[in-house]
Structure 1
């Protein structure tokens, strides 16, 4: 802010908190010099959610002490750090073989975000945008990444998974699609053997081939609700 803008801020502060008003010409000049020294690099407003008046108002409401220019400066630096933390450097348009131009464009983009002249550039999600045409058909044609013959050979070594796949293929519910309230197994994880000792603690953590009855009932209920919907 320039001196005229800082003077406007001081006037606004004095209107909300008369304790900050300086009637002596020398004191008013010193106050202006101090505020301008600390707020020289702080903008009055930006198009990205920063307004000095909002900061002053919130500070006066939340604190019983007179506001200081350092309070406003700290809020601005916090605002800048937050914006830069949410910013992801976009790929510069400059030639990557020209490191000086590449770096200059990156720094210019960061400075614009920090100064509130541009919005932070966030990460684009991996699944953002439209799906490629024909993608669903390609995935259907590929099928499972494990061939059927190999899956059959692995069944004796994966009894829980084999039982789950057989139940789903027969039209039954996905037993592992719901958590187990008895052994606290998460979704997708097999049930565990829990042996309760005399003092009430649980012992044993071996996976079960079959799910606990309560989990089976919850899976059946979930399947019924899905069919009704």
Structure 2
């Protein structure tokens, strides 16, 4: 609050509690300077629920003691803490390699929430998928094609052969075998097939992951892909 807003707040408090009124000009000037020094960083009101007059009226209504600047500052600090506790940092829309811009956007969003200019951002549901991505971030992801640079993908290929084979097949227009459940090794959708070693007693002795899916899983994925293409054509 600036000095004019502090003067308006003191005038409002004086109407509710005449004990705070200073009739001497020097005392009134000192009171104004004291309140401005202690409440200069506290806004008079914000678009989202804070009003210094409400805090002052609440104190006067519930306390027999004369109001002090701390009786306005304490509710303001509680208001700030509550908003920041309910805030979940959204992903900045800037380039993550630009550390200064990334940090500045995070700090700016937190500051706007703390001072009541913006509402706290709630964490998105895990099931929201790509619908919850910021539009600017979605546009950048479309531009670069993947959140992982191509050079990094190539370097990771030897360490995840199943995923590399899947991405290659999809890029070539072949059916995505990992999109269906494998009836042979019982691998769930998204998981690579596993090599089952059967012992003499009929039990499984090992389940090492396979780089290539089982042939039956490929056939099932191809059948599903054909059905998906046929249904729109029939409609």
Q: TM (normalized to structure 2)?
A: 0.54
Alpha-carbon distance in structure 1 between the residues aligned to 2:107 and 2:69: 28
Matched, 1:115 2:110: no
The Cα of 1:94 is off from its aligned counterpart by 1.0
For 1:37-82, what per-residue CA distance to the aligned partner results, in whole angstroms no more than 9, with x for missing partners?
0110000110010011111111111100011011101111110011
1:18 aligns with 18
User: Distance between the aligned counterparts of 1:66 and 1:102, measured in 2?
Assistant: 46
1:93 aligned onto 2:97? no
Count of residues paired in the alignment: 139
**CA distance 1:129–1:55, change in 2 (3 Å):** farther
Name the residue aligned to 1:66.
66
State the partner residue of 1:76: 76
CA distance in 2: counterparts of 1:90 and 1:9, whole angstroms: 36
Q: TM-score, normalised by structure 1?
A: 0.56
Displacement after TM superposition at 1:86 (Å): 0.5
What SS does structure 1 have at the residue aligned with 2:126? coil
Q: CA deviation at 1:125?
A: 2.4
In the alignment, which residue of structure 2 is the partner of 1:36? 36
Instruction: Write the distance in 2 (CA, Å) between the matches of 1:129 and 1:95.
Output: 21
* 3-state secondary structure, aligned to 2:12: helix
Shift of 1:18: 0.4
Backbone CA RMSD of aligned residues: 2.6
SS at match of 1:45: coil
Residue 7 of structure 2 is matched in structure 1 by 7
User: Who is 2:51 aligned against?
Assistant: 51
- Structure 1: stretches of 5+ with no match in the other structure: 132-137, 147-229
* Deviation per residue, 1:128-148 (Å, 9 max, x gap): 5899xxxxxx99xx9xx89xx
Give the structure 1 partner of residue 106 of structure 2. 106
In 2, Cα distance between equivalents of 1:100 and 1:129: 28
